[in-house]
Amino acid sequence: MGYYPPKDDHGISFAVEAIQTSIQQAADTIREKLTAPHVIYKAVLKARGSYWVAVLPGDSNAGEEEGLWGVGETPEKAMDSFDLTWRNQRTPRAIEKQLETIKKEEADEEARNNGPFGVGA
């Protein structure tokens, strides 16, 4: 009769757990890639000189101040830039209002620092 080592249920359960973790990580990566804004909204790539621009289909504002677009040295970087813009970019009017608020706060602080008689009074 041959020798049969004792059954190692712990080793098998560890292997199963490692496989399940790998499968979950792969599924998360696939879900992330398939739900990226550039995939959902079908961003279009355009070559512009030495860089790529990812824009919404029909968006003629690529490279302009307004519009939703991403730029990169490679198509992948342009799409990643598009996704970041999608998630973070505020409208031009919202940016303008934010700048107005910052300028007003800076002016108010300068007035407080200078006192009623001006600098050096």
Report pLDDT digits (tens) over 7-46: 666 667 888 888 999 999 999 989 988 889 999 989 999 9
- pLDDT digits over 35-71, tens only? 899 999 899 999 998 999 998 887 555 544 456 788 9
Higher model confidence: residue 86 or residue 2?
86
In a domain, 40, yes or no: yes
79: amino acid identity, one letter: M
In a domain, 49, yes or no: yes
* Residue 69: domain span: 35-114
- Domain total of the chain: 1
In a domain, 13, yes or no: no
- The whole-number average pLDDT for the span 74-80 is 94
Average per-residue pLDDT for the chain: 80
d(CA 93, CA 31): 33
- The whole-number average pLDDT for the span 107-114 is 82
100: amino acid identity, one letter: E
- Show the tokens assigned to 61: 């504002």
Q: Backbone phi, then psi, for 60, in 5-degree steps?
A: -85, 0
In a domain, 110, yes or no: yes
In a domain, 77, yes or no: yes
User: Do the beta carbons of residue 63 and residue 112 sit within 8 Å?
Assistant: no
